[in-house]
Structure 1
Amino acid sequence: MGGAASFIGFLTNNVITFVFVLSLLVFVHEMGHYLVGRWSGIRIMAFSIGFGPEILGHTDRHGTRWKLSLIPLGGYVRFFGDEDASSKTDTDQLAAMTEEERAQSFAGAKLWKRAATVAAGPIANFILAIAIFAVLFSVYGRTVADPVVAMVTRDGAAAEAGIEPGDRLMAIDGVKVKTFDEVQRYVGLRPGRTIVLTVERDGQMRDFRIMPKLVEDTDQFGNKMEMGRIGIALVDPLITGVEPNGPAAKAGIVAGDRLIAADGNAIATYYDIGRYIGDRAGKSIVLTIQRNGEIRDFPIVAETLTETDASGNKKDVGSIGIAPIDPLVASIAPDSPAEAAGLELGDRILSVDGQAVGSISEVQRYAASHADKPVALSVERGGQTRDVTVTPKKSAETDIFGAQIEIATIGITDGQKPIRLRYEAYGPFQALGEGVKQTGSIVSGTFEYIANVIGGYMKADQLGGPIRVAQLSGQMATLGFSAVLQFAAILSVSIGLLNLMPVPVLDGGHLMFYAIEAVRGKPLGARAQDIAFRIGFAMVLSLMVFATWNDISSRIG
């Protein structure tokens, strides 16, 4: 019974969301080809979402067959006179047509009309991405952080260059920055390459030459990714909560200690240590902390806990029992599960379903993966310990980007306020401008990544195929519809860029042929086009195999 429920959950969270996202992107891409082709006077034989046998369809008054096909991994628009898979110009077939047929055929259309029809697909993907981002910015706005440094990691690139806490980041390589996210995005794509960071300190501008270091990061779903870092953060990794009788407490760690390093690896934020320890259940760790101006090392053995991530997957993680803030209930939402269960302000939550917790955020993460399931809390109130049962309920929450997501919660907070954050609202035209900027950022970021791979600064194992896209689709679905739309916008840009590659078989390859035809005054010969098609097909197939291998190896490795 549990296996069936798990399988159904996998289908719902991954396959169904994947098919929805991919079908949307394919429909928009092919609609771009269709609309410009129709406008150019080219007869359209078929418009298909998916490949293979037709599931259902309809023929319109223009003779176009609109259909849904069995394999939902793409789609196509078939033009009259363009039945060949490589879309090469068949002069013999063209000569055999009547004048009327030639005027309605793809091959008989003027060169600029063919080029416009082909280019319309990728362009439609870019337009879709811009539209999605514009809608999200217009509806939700955005929460951003000012580019002010709160923490500089010891031995990090920024510390070595002379960056200090309190510095306001003004520009990178001469380009002005307004948010901390812009700094992270720029730095993340430039590991191993020197950048010039302009900061304001005590009213004066100073330039610092810094080389970001390549690090491996892990997101909330356990996906690993490489990025450049210079060792600056918005928050100070200060320990304000230590679990009684936990590994850290037994080792001598106390509230007020500042995290400096773990096994010699510099720590930028409290969450860096959480990720590091999480991968080392049962292993010995040397934690370096700063206390009263002195640096001290503490050997600690991480205990093993079982956690459920945002996708509902259970895994063993390491813990030493520290937190950035005590697990004290500072607020209770009206009509919330916490209020119904009898929780009170000032309650200290000691454990959840028997698992010790060191912060309210740990309680919130646990509740998020236990919607509509009774959860047992051990609570300390007035020096006495009592047990409380609470059932997390799904409700609309606002994430750090201002988007509404549905997440299970019990309705409590620790009172900790995000630092240096501000909300930005956008009118329709501003939102459109931000949509263009966001799409442009993805395009430039993609080219930066390719340059990093070619230059040896990053590995190519971050290139994903259908399996990874399906997995990410399901993960985004757990965060809500707005997260799925953001993912669809990013994927739409990727599809647009991929199709513009000058590789035969892809739209960019056809455009390359048309450019050659414009210079020569006539198309390439059928044999040359056929050879180019075979080479292009082999290249695309190799790329698909490589991406799929990355997907598989990342799941088993």
Structure 2
Amino acid sequence: MNTVIAFIIIFGALVFFHELGHFVFAKRAGILCREFAIGMGPKILAFKRNETQYTIRLLPIGGYVRMAGEDPEMIDLKPGFRVGLLFNQDETVQKMVVNNKDRYPNLRVVEVAEADIERELFIKGYEEGEESLQTFIIAKDAVFVEDGVESQIAPWNRQFNSKSLGNRAITIFAGPLMNFVLAFVVFMIIGFLQGVPTQEPLLGALLEDGAAAEAGLQEGDRIEGINGQSVSEWSDLTAIIEENPNTEVTMDILRNGDAQTFQVTPDAVEVEEGDEIGRIGVYGPIETSPSPVQAVVFGGEQTYFFTLMIFDALGKLITGQFTIDALSGPVGIYKSTEIVAQTGIYNLMHWGAILSINLGIMNLLPLPALDGGRLLFFGVEALRGKPIDRHKEGMVHFVGFALLMLLMIVVTWNDIQRFFLQ
């Protein structure tokens, strides 16, 4: 149960902040956001506030902000169409009832002669019992009512594609950006609460079966020198140890003011095929009461480090050094979360921050249906000086989405085989 809760919290936070980036910048640009969704598939919870419906959906494979204009708008009032109109106090059309008109006793039914519900916002038509053509002005926040369900209209200036290229680009880029911001904030909180590494040549926690513990070293020992070389920073210590796998070294230390000498043989750890480095099984020293500035610096350093690490792994995947079997989907992430959750809240926060960076990077890849793919189309639009045909772009994104879903199925099946069928 703890794993389920941890997974829901982490997944929910990653998707929420990603979509929040899209949502905030869309609203800032004046775009009508019809839905803010966490998850995909059937709704399990929904409520509406102002003009946006907020939903939680069944499948934990993403989320979305449904912005007006991204999909074809709802209803086109063609000539001859009969629609019921309800008016507000300003005598402008507030509701357009498509069917079940008998539910609204105050409706004025109009046969449409001409209508523009995007730019000019008017309906011209003949009201029942009247022979003269009338013009009705539509309110900017008017709604369609079909089968009892209300849907707000989206005037052209509230639609995504009406906005400048810069506003559209930042709205899409803001989603991945928020994942990096979230990771930075989480790392910063970890640093502030748990402590941040320092460069002091002091031994932190020791692994019970590590070479340092077996040689008699203790947490808090200050390393003065190794093999006669002076050690003034933690990086000096690690550099010398890494250069001496399976080779005994002499370590001069200070323990409670007393100088002592120990013989330590670093274990050999393979980092690449044929390459080994030394490890003695000890963590670096931690500043347990860091200043806010230290915590901020730590958050930035950790975000930068894991960003580079994920890009490196992505490069190996592209060049074939990793195979698709190395990828994990929701099932693999759940199992990893289960393992990490058993090691403490700080490690779980650390894991969530890494996943957030990973989500941000994956979404920035220039692939159809991803944020990076949409940004790529914006780049082409900037070069051409005009947008690509929306139908062609939509088809590319549709095919890309289908392929991504296929990849998700393959990765999930690999996870199931790895964790449950072996």
The TM-score bracket by the shorter chain reads: 0.5 to 0.7
Which of 434, 437, 441 aligns to 2:298? It is 434
- Where structure 2 has 5 or more consecutive residues not aligned to the other structure, the ranges are 74-115, 121-139, 141-154, 204-209, 213-225, 244-250, 253-268
Q: Which amino acid aligns with 2:404?
A: V
Structure 1 partner of 2:14:
25
Distance change (3 Å), C-alpha of 1:529 and 1:484: same
Distance 1:464 1:426 in 2: 35
TM-score by length of 2: 0.62
Give the % identical residues.
31
How do 1:341-360 residues align onto structure 2 when only pairs under 5 Å count?
A: none
Structure 2 partner of 1:234:
280
Which of 372, 378, 381 aligns to 1:508? It is 372
Distance change (3 Å), C-alpha of 1:55 and 1:553: closer
Check the 8 A contact 1:151/1:234 in 2, yes or no: yes
Task: Name the SS of the counterpart of 2:118 in structure 1.
Answer: coil
Task: Name the SS of the counterpart of 1:72 in structure 2.
Answer: strand
Deviates more, 1:17-26 or 1:501-510: 17-26
Check the 8 A contact 1:145/1:179 in 2, yes or no: no
Structure 2 partner of 1:121:
175
Aligned length: 306
Check the 8 A contact 2:199/2:235 in 1, yes or no: no
How do 1:188-199 residues align onto structure 2 when only pairs under 5 Å count?
A: none
Q: Deviations over 1:155-192 (max 9, x none)?
A: xxxxxxxxx97778999xxxx947849x98xx9xxxxx
Q: CA deviation at 1:145?
A: 8.4
Structure 2 partner of 1:81:
69
Task: Name the SS of the counterpart of 1:97 in structure 2.
Answer: coil
How do 1:543-554 residues align onto structure 2 when only pairs under 5 Å count?
A: 543-554=407-418
Task: Name the SS of the counterpart of 1:68 in structure 2.
Answer: strand
TM-score by length of 1: 0.48
Task: Name the SS of the counterpart of 2:71 in structure 1.
Answer: coil
Task: Name the SS of the counterpart of 1:107 in structure 2.
Answer: helix
Distance 2:45 2:192 in 1: 37
Which of 191, 200, 207 aligns to 1:137? It is 191
Q: CA deviation at 1:539?
A: 3.9
Q: CA deviation at 1:139?
A: 1.1
Which of 332, 335, 353 aligns to 1:489? It is 353
Which of 55, 76, 98 aligns to 2:119? It is 98
Q: Deviations over 1:121-154 (max 9, x none)?
A: 00001000000000110111045787899969xx
Q: CA deviation at 1:550?
A: 3.6
Instruction: Tell which structure's C-alpha radius of gyration is larger.
Output: 2
- Where structure 1 has 5 or more consecutive residues not aligned to the other structure, the ranges are 1-11, 86-94, 153-163, 188-200, 203-211, 216-226, 236-417
Distance change (3 Å), C-alpha of 1:116 and 1:454: closer
Task: Name the SS of the counterpart of 2:55 in structure 1.
Answer: strand
Check the 8 A contact 2:192/2:292 in 1, yes or no: yes
Distance change (3 Å), C-alpha of 1:19 and 1:522: same
Distance change (3 Å), C-alpha of 1:231 and 1:458: farther
Task: Name the SS of the counterpart of 2:62 in structure 1.
Answer: strand
Distance 1:107 1:118 in 2: 12
Q: Which amino acid aligns with 1:472?
A: S
Q: Which amino acid aligns with 1:97?
A: E
Task: Name the SS of the counterpart of 1:65 in structure 2.
Answer: strand
Q: CA deviation at 1:493?
A: 0.5
Check the 8 A contact 1:146/1:178 in 2, yes or no: no
Distance 1:509 1:477 in 2: 34
CA-based RMSD of the aligned residues comes to: 3.9
Structure 1 partner of 2:83:
none
Structure 1 partner of 2:247:
none
Check the 8 A contact 1:146/1:179 in 2, yes or no: no
Check the 8 A contact 1:148/1:234 in 2, yes or no: no
Distance 1:535 1:179 in 2: 53
Q: Which amino acid aligns with 1:524?
A: I
